Amino acid sequence: MKRNFQQRNTQQRRHGIMQLLQQKGEVSVEQLVQLFETSEVTIRKDLTALESNGFLLRRYGGAILMPQDLMDESQDENLSKQKLSIAKAAAERIRDHHRIIIDSGSTTAALIKQLNSKQGLVVMTNSLSVASELRSLENEPTLLMTGGTWDTRSESFQGKVAEQVLRSYDFDQLFIGADGIDLARGTTTFNELVELSRVMAEVSREVIVMVESQKIGRKMPNLELNWQQIDVLVTDDLLSEKDKAVIERHNIEVIIAK
């Protein structure tokens, strides 16, 4: 009986959080602790659960309502086809015996199934799901993990330990996604943990960004990689000629996946 009450209480509180977010667009942990008369730990668990279900995005000290275009995107059936075409085009850059990094993310994860024809690969990742899929490949690439501190928001390892591990290697290529592309600055993200991405770029001879065209022009709060750190951008054939020209002016090779 007590457990059922707790479950009901949790559901009511999370429903209340979403109502507040829809009214204000942004809430702080401190606000929610006072409003629901509970602990910071409980509120942070609520926010993590709501974020994992796609309702909000965590920010330092609180959360914001999930932008409508991101919610619509998660329901777009064509997105998986875009990711697959991008992954196929990106995989053509990989040669046998290359040492590569695959960052966490759904677009970069689509690359894994394209690796079965490559021999002697060494693959580093900070993602458990990427690592698990790599282990299922028949050609059995050598798998390296960054280790570090597990971040529930990005579902990846982050932090100083991960950075130190990366700096002890050098790689031919980094394959990395983006939440958005600021045409003036580079890749952008809602996640404030961007340092590991920059270290990944630092230790790689070629940095390849894999991103769907609808994310190009989308400016997020945090700059992840600036154009000077990027060599190649792989996207789908819905990219406009105007945006393509702007990106190429930053000395970026743009690959259009058909």
Helices (H), the chain: 2-24, 29-36, 40-52, 68-74, 78-91, 106-109, 128-135, 160-167, 195-202, 241-248
C-beta separation of 199 from 146 below 8 A: no
| 22 and 107 inside one domain | no
Whichever domain contains 48, its CATH number is 1.10.10.10
In a domain, residue 6? The reply is yes
186-215 per-position pLDDT tens digit: 998 877 778 999 999 999 999 999 999 989
In a domain, residue 132? The reply is yes
| 226 and 106 inside one domain | yes
Indicate the pairing of strand 186-189 with strand 222-226: antiparallel
DSSP category for residue 40: H
Q: What is the pLDDT of residue 79?
A: 52
C-beta separation of 35 from 12 below 8 A: no
In the predicted structure, residue 161 carries a pLDDT above the cut 90: yes
Is residue 67 very low, low, confident or very high in pLDDT (cuts 50, 70, 90)? low
C-beta separation of 111 from 181 below 8 A: no
| 36 and 83 inside one domain | no
Whichever domain contains 126, its CATH number is 3.40.50.1360
DSSP category for residue 145: E
Domain boundary among 66, 101, 117: 66
Report which of residues 107 and 97 the model is more confident about. 97
* Maximum mean pLDDT: which of 103-112, 124-133, 225-234: 225-234
Range of the domain at 23: 2-66
In the predicted structure, residue 72 carries a pLDDT above the cut 60: no
Q: What is the pLDDT of residue 70?
A: 52
Average pLDDT rounded to a whole number, residues 115-129: 93
Q: What is the pLDDT of residue 2?
A: 38
Q: What is the pLDDT of residue 4?
A: 45
Structure tokens at 96: 């046998």
Structure tokens at 139: 């050609």
- For the chain, percent of residues with pLDDT exceeding 70: 91
Split into its structural domains, the chain has a count of 2
Q: How far is CA 255 from CA 138, 160, 206, 233, in A?
A: 28, 33, 14, 6
Average pLDDT rounded to a whole number, residues 35-59: 84
In the predicted structure, residue 228 carries a pLDDT above the cut 70: yes
| 15 and 124 inside one domain | no
28-39 per-position pLDDT tens digit: 999 999 999 999
